[in-house]
Chains A and B, each alone.
Chain A
């Protein structure tokens, strides 16, 4: 799929995310919006996995470490045919539903459960090590939040990934600069991430994480880089896509009211129309 088509698709998926959240009466909308393009580019252009190959030992692996961005993950998994969007919307967060607010590996396409932060990277180290042991050429991807980087276990994983030279591993940091209590810099300083990861022996790429072209290019570059794991610092906007929620910590977990919902839907439609009109 061409990147322009992905851009268009991303606006439809943003609407799907908001609709899922409305149906389930709550969700991590801010982080869903910042991470969506990362997930979209990964699933549409880089991950070698289909709904039919979820048990193939050679499939690429993905773990959503910032598991709370589940609504974005649902939208992408549904778009790729792993799950049914209609079923998700009908049952998300409902009594007895498999569609919970964090990854559930009983659902097709989801490798590992997460929800508690700081687990994805070390789990992916194990997956990448298994790939090296078995001489398989699959790649392993994880996406973390920037607030998540305060978890010590992230750095245990970072340490072992570089120790074992896991160049089949690529981590993304969704650097949206906000967490539930405020800016990341207020809560716990996260600046100089590039230096921190480089000091841990990683190949570091810092990009505009809202840009589909930049994400696509970064994943391609990560794949070609040998001898070290790659981290992509994806500089994003929390709540990306509508001024109603952009850069507002209060939208970390939020249910839009009727008025907000209307405005967000309008903003998405306008952004999409502008793209279609070549603006």
Chain B
């Protein structure tokens, strides 16, 4: 793998870059500064860093209180704890009170591989998306992560961002990262199948499209980093231009990207939609790479499912 910089590191670098001039940026961690790659931030900007201890509910409420007083609060904690242990704080103190808090779920999905279901966040998209006034983003690589964090610094609304633990292969480059807030990125256009992916599933989806091309199958690939609000226009356009739609996500099969895309396609331009996701069960023990391969969430698995759909 060429890239050694995980998305969480890109978040820290971006926040450090802006914290020098924007003293309202405050980062909060729940004994998670190391896991979140935020140790450097805490060392460089101790006056803009708040440690809450292993207390995720406190983490999110404190972030909301800071935000209500004009701070741009970024609360980072493992996605599994942040979105379930402090779900209500996200709902009431961030979304309902409309505070400028960005919840950063680190080591999301099955990043913690062999640590078991307590450490997996396979329900965060469903949970966070169901909260009114909560936006949900899963950036696909380090370049897009930077663009996303910079866009979030420009507004004053709550959001949830999920990133994984390990470096992922780049989708974009430092010179070329097309990014418009709330708009999916068209990585590829093809008339046979539309593959819509989010987060760390985007790179394998793109690689799958290359494998499909070798078989004479042309795929559209959409990077739907903006899961909520969803870019419905792009989904409709992609579905209309293809025979079938395949969604790919590191999430439970319920209430995630696949469910949302199915609703949009079903209501606007009915096509067959198949959802590639984690199972509704504790996932098999392994590294995230092994887990993805097992459930067909790698380039090979995605291309096989896609090929089966258009044949």
| Complex: A128 Cα to B69 Cα, angstroms | 9
Are A113 and B62 in contact, with the CB atoms below 8 A? no
Total number of A residues with any Cβ neighbor in B under 8 Å:
30
Are B98 and A105 in contact, with the CB atoms below 8 A? yes
Are B58 and A160 in contact, with the CB atoms below 8 A? yes
Task: Give every chain A residue within 8 A of B97 (Cβ-Cβ).
Answer: 105, 112-113
| Nearest CB of chain A from residue B65's CB, rounded to whole Å | 2
Are A126 and B64 in contact, with the CB atoms below 8 A? yes
Are B61 and A153 in contact, with the CB atoms below 8 A? yes
**Which chain A residue has the least Cβ–Cβ distance from B95?**
A113
Task: Give every chain B residue within 8 A of A153 (Cβ-Cβ).
Answer: 57-58, 61, 89
Which residues between 144 and 160 of chain A lie within 8 Å of chain B, taking CB atoms? 152-153, 156-157, 159-160
Which label, helix, strand, loop or mixed, suits the secondary structure of the A interface?
helix
Which residues between 45 and 87 of chain B lie within 8 Å of chain A, taking CB atoms? 47-48, 50, 52-53, 55, 57-58, 61-71, 73
Most buried by B among A116, A122, A124, A163: A122
Q: Is B88 an interface residue (CB 8 A)?
A: yes
Task: Give every chain B residue within 8 A of A129 (Cβ-Cβ).
Answer: 50, 62, 65-66
Most buried by A among B89, B96, B97: B97
Given known contacts A116-B92, A156-B57, A57 and B69 CB-to-CB distance under 8 angstroms: yes
A-B contacts besides A114-B92, A122-B58, A126-B68, 19 pairs, CB < 8 Å: A57-B70, A111-B68, A112-B68, A113-B92, A113-B93, A116-B92, A119-B61, A123-B62, A126-B66, A129-B65, A133-B48, A156-B52, A156-B55, A156-B57, A156-B58, A157-B58, A157-B62, A159-B58, A160-B52
Q: Is A127 an interface residue (CB 8 A)?
A: yes
Once A and B bind, how many residue pairs between them come within 8 Å at the CB atom? 96
Task: Give every chain A residue within 8 A of B63 (Cβ-Cβ).
Answer: 126
Residue pairs across A and B with Cβ atoms less than 8 A apart, 27 shown, are A57-B69, A57-B70, A111-B68, A112-B64, A112-B93, A113-B97, A115-B92, A118-B57, A119-B88, A119-B92, A122-B62, A122-B65, A123-B62, A124-B65, A127-B66, A127-B68, A128-B65, A129-B50, A129-B66, A130-B65, A130-B70, A133-B47, A134-B70, A153-B58, A153-B61, A160-B53, A160-B58
**Neighbour of A130 across the interface among B61, B71, B88, B93, CB < 8 A:** B71
**Range for the number of chain B residues in contact with chain A:** 20 to 34
Q: Is A24 an interface residue (CB 8 A)?
A: no
| Nearest CB of chain B from residue A95's CB, rounded to whole Å | 19
| Interfacial residues, chain A to chain B (CB-CB below 8 A) | 57, 61, 105, 111-116, 118-119, 122-131, 133-134, 152-153, 156-157, 159-160, 163
Task: Give every chain B residue within 8 A of A57 (Cβ-Cβ).
Answer: 69-70
Q: Is B184 an interface residue (CB 8 A)?
A: no
Task: Give every chain B residue within 8 A of A133 (Cβ-Cβ).
Answer: 26, 47-48, 71
Task: Give every chain A residue within 8 A of B68 (Cβ-Cβ).
Answer: 61, 111-112, 123, 126-127
Given known contacts A112-B97, A160-B52, A125 and B65 CB-to-CB distance under 8 angstroms: yes
| Nearest CB of chain B from residue A11's CB, rounded to whole Å | 33
Are A160 and B55 in contact, with the CB atoms below 8 A? yes
Given known contacts A130-B71, A160-B52, A123 and B98 CB-to-CB distance under 8 angstroms: no
Are A113 and B96 in contact, with the CB atoms below 8 A? yes
| Complex: A190 Cα to B249 Cα, angstroms | 47
**Which chain A residue has the least Cβ–Cβ distance from B71?**
A130
| Complex: A94 Cα to B57 Cα, angstroms | 33
**Which chain A residue has the least Cβ–Cβ distance from B88?**
A116
Are B58 and A61 in contact, with the CB atoms below 8 A? no
| Complex: A213 Cα to B95 Cα, angstroms | 39
Are B65 and A127 in contact, with the CB atoms below 8 A? yes
**Which chain B residue has the least Cβ–Cβ distance from A63?**
B65
Are A126 and B62 in contact, with the CB atoms below 8 A? yes
| Complex: A127 Cα to B61 Cα, angstroms | 10
| Complex: A114 Cα to B92 Cα, angstroms | 7
| Complex: A133 Cα to B93 Cα, angstroms | 21
Which residues between 239 and 286 of chain B lie within 8 Å of chain A, taking CB atoms? none
Cβ contacts B88-118/A at 8 Å (1 or 0 each): 1100110011100000000000000000000
| Complex: A113 Cα to B94 Cα, angstroms | 10
**Which chain B residue has the least Cβ–Cβ distance from A151?**
B57
**Neighbour of B61 across the interface among A61, A125, A131, CB < 8 A:** A125
| Complex: A129 Cα to B93 Cα, angstroms | 16
Are A123 and B65 in contact, with the CB atoms below 8 A? yes
**Which chain A residue has the least Cβ–Cβ distance from B50?**
A129
Task: Give every chain B residue within 8 A of A152 (Cβ-Cβ).
Answer: 57
Task: Give every chain B residue within 8 A of A134 (Cβ-Cβ).
Answer: 69-70
List the 6 closest A-B pairs by CB distance, nearest first: A126-B65, A122-B61, A130-B69, A156-B58, A126-B62, A156-B55
